[in-house]
Structure 1
């Protein structure tokens, strides 16, 4: 997960990933310019955080919601949709 220390959506995403038991590695783009460049590349030139990357899949989670996160995790095969 690409993030910044001041990002509220990043804190929410980390909390949600932890609650779901999904391990992640966090990279602060303010401290690592090469990581900021990667975020720009995968987000069409936007410096958008949190940006999640799994294999060849990447997405911006700005305007974070747990539903948005779960949908993406389902798309990339990390969680199964819940029934009911």
Structure 2
């Protein structure tokens, strides 16, 4: 299984919540900071279909979650 990629920023509450959930459930992920990396920010917007909401979470199967609730994240991970 490939690793999950989470595009987010340290100041983002939803990003912190998603990262905490992933860590708590021992789900490996790559954290990409969109605040300090213009290319990463552009990539996150592209992946999210033009939306600028974060976090943008890319699952190993290619599915994308944009600003998911904890329940949505848990359901997507357990698929």
How many pairs does the alignment contain?
73
TM-score by length of 2: 0.81
RMSD: 1.3
Specify every segment of 5 or more residues in structure 2 that has no aligned partner in the other structure, as ranges. Answer: 1-5
Larger relative contact order, structure 1 or 2 (CA cutoff 8 Å, min sep 6) = 2
More strand as a share of residues: 2
Instruction: Detail structure 1 runs of 4+ shifted over 3 Å in the superposition.
Output: none
Specify every segment of 5 or more residues in structure 1 that has no aligned partner in the other structure, as ranges. Answer: 76-84
TM-score by length of 1: 0.77
Q: Spell out, residue by residue over 1:23-74, the C-alpha distance to the aligned partner (whole angstroms, 9 max, x if none).
A: 11111101111111111112121111111112322211x2x43211111113
